[in-house]
Amino acid sequence: MKDHKSKRYMTAVYRYAFSRLVLHYTLYYEVSSEHPAVSEREQSIKADFDKVLTGFLQGEAGTKELDRLRGQIGERAEIMTAYSDCFQIYEYVLNRIERRFADMPSSRYTPGEMAGRLAAGLADMEQAADRNSRLRDILSHLPVRFTRQKFYDMVTERFTVYIGLSRESVENFLHMLKTAVMVRLPENMDQEEELGQVLSCLKSADYRSLDKTGYGRCREMLARGVRALEEKTELYVTLQEMANELYMLVLTEDRRLVEAGEEAAFRGGLKKLQTGLATMKGIPEEELEEILSRMEGIQESVEDIVMSGNPLGNPDSDQIQKKLDKLTSGSSFMSLEEKETSGETADREWMEEQAQVLCRELDGLFAGLQKPVVRSVMARVLASLPVMFQNDRELEEYIRTSLESCADLSEREACLELLEQELMDFDVVV
């Protein structure tokens, strides 16, 4: 009985993976055919994927090759995330100086009115997780007018919320935070020449004395960078999805029972797409439709079985099952390796040390940044850390004071405009 359940589950995973792989590879084929010109680095990773796919179709691919491929794609995706974070920091700056160069209507709200409406909207939210997420969005839009020491005191205070958590989880959070605010950027970012040129332009602009022409150039460069980033990110996500699906196929290949006709259609479709990409001759539309039609309904028919997980109820006893659980979790870039944990918790002394290290690193970063960019980084840090308000009145006061303390009226109006969008998301009439 157990063997039957296991076979049924492994077969479901196999069919789930191959139907998704054919779909993703068809999309990949169409995009690659329309936009064949990519960077040398992207071409290299695409070639590596093609080698692994060929190995699988010939019965030679193993998890070692897939681990290496997933690692390569993951490194590139991390660089894409870093560029995205950098661009968001400079977008924050550009949004707040836009009104120097454009005649735009003023907000209908005073700082006090805006604070009251936002606090009321947050209070009406029932789900704590949704409320906290929206609160962080709101705080990220507020002007920042703190001295560095006041800012560092706020960071240290907020770190106390993590006391009692595992040190590993705090370290993972700190790694993501430091990347998000440009404290620690991944290696080899300079390999992305186009994105690097955009970031260099944004870094070198003098935001205190920027004229309309300079502002327009920065906006144009940022838009160009975002477009390129979206295309590259989509490519790496698709490649990782396909690598994950190949991984599932390799893990379940010897444990599944699939009809010969269905198996032949699956492998035949992949080979036809692969050949079409290699020769760049193209595949007739009716053949593409036929490839997809043969996969129609397969994923839906087995999805419930796949998502229910291990039928034997004990994934700890099976390394294959552990990896399948991760591969079907929806987290495309999740590590498949088991990591040993120390089991240590974050006590107050350790957390204070981590806060001090972060503040020193931020201080070093700030030394090379212009004040508008420093404020953008501060806003991002504070929006990423837990917030502690005793009640709705305290929150309302914080929002109001933040807006009123901004003497730059253009920046204040820009912030109010962004906050009006938050009101619209609350379904509040603006």
Model confidence pLDDT, tens digit, residues 125-156: 888 888 888 888 998 899 998 899 999 999 99
- pTM for this structure? 0.89
Tell me the C-alpha to C-alpha distance, in Å, between residue 140 and each of 156, 204, 212, 223, 383: 18, 24, 26, 21, 5
Q: Are the C-beta atoms of residues 15 and 302 closer than 8 Å to each other?
A: yes
Q: Note the pLDDT of residue 355.
A: 94
Does the structure show a pLDDT above 50 at 350?
yes
Name which of 390, 430, 422, 334 is nearest 133 in CA terms.
Answer: 422
Model confidence pLDDT, tens digit, residues 292-339: 888 888 888 888 888 887 665 555 557 888 888 899 888 889 888 877
DSSP per-residue letters across 89-135: HHHHHHHHHGGGTS--PPPSS-HHHHHHHHHHHHHT---HHHHHHHH
Mean pLDDT (the chain, rounded)? 89
278-288 mean pLDDT: 82
Weakest mean pLDDT among 104-108, 171-175, 233-237: 104-108
Q: Note the pLDDT of residue 311.
A: 63
Two structure tokens written together for 330:
């929806």
Contacts of residue 163, defined as CB under 8 A and 6 or more positions apart, other chains included, come to: 346, 347, 348, 351
Write the burial class of residue 334 (CB in 10 Å: 0-12 exposed, 13-18 middle, 19+ buried): middle
List phi, psi (to 5°) of 345. Answer: -100, 160
Two structure tokens written together for 70:
């997933």
Model confidence pLDDT, tens digit, residues 72-126: 999 999 999 999 999 999 999 999 999 888 888 888 899 999 999 999 999 888 8
Please give the helix or strand (H or E) that residue 199 lies within, else none: helix 193-204
Please, what sign has the CA dihedral across residues 60, 61, 63, 68?
A: positive
Q: Note the pLDDT of residue 429.
A: 45
Q: Note the pLDDT of residue 430.
A: 44
Q: Note the pLDDT of residue 314.
A: 54
Does the structure show a pLDDT above 80 at 272?
yes
Does the structure show a pLDDT above 50 at 5?
yes
Name which of 104, 205, 203, 148 is nearest 418 in CA terms.
Answer: 104
Cross-strand bridge partners of residue 345 = 166
Percent of the residues in the chain that have a pLDDT greater than 90, as a whole number: 56
Q: Note the pLDDT of residue 229.
A: 95
Does the structure show a pLDDT above 60 at 43?
yes
Q: Note the pLDDT of residue 38.
A: 75
Model confidence pLDDT, tens digit, residues 357-415: 999 999 999 999 999 999 999 999 998 998 778 888 999 999 999 999 998 888 999 99
Does the structure show a pLDDT above 80 at 3?
no
**Torsion, Cα of 221, 224, 230, 231 (10° steps):** -140
Q: Note the pLDDT of residue 310.
A: 64
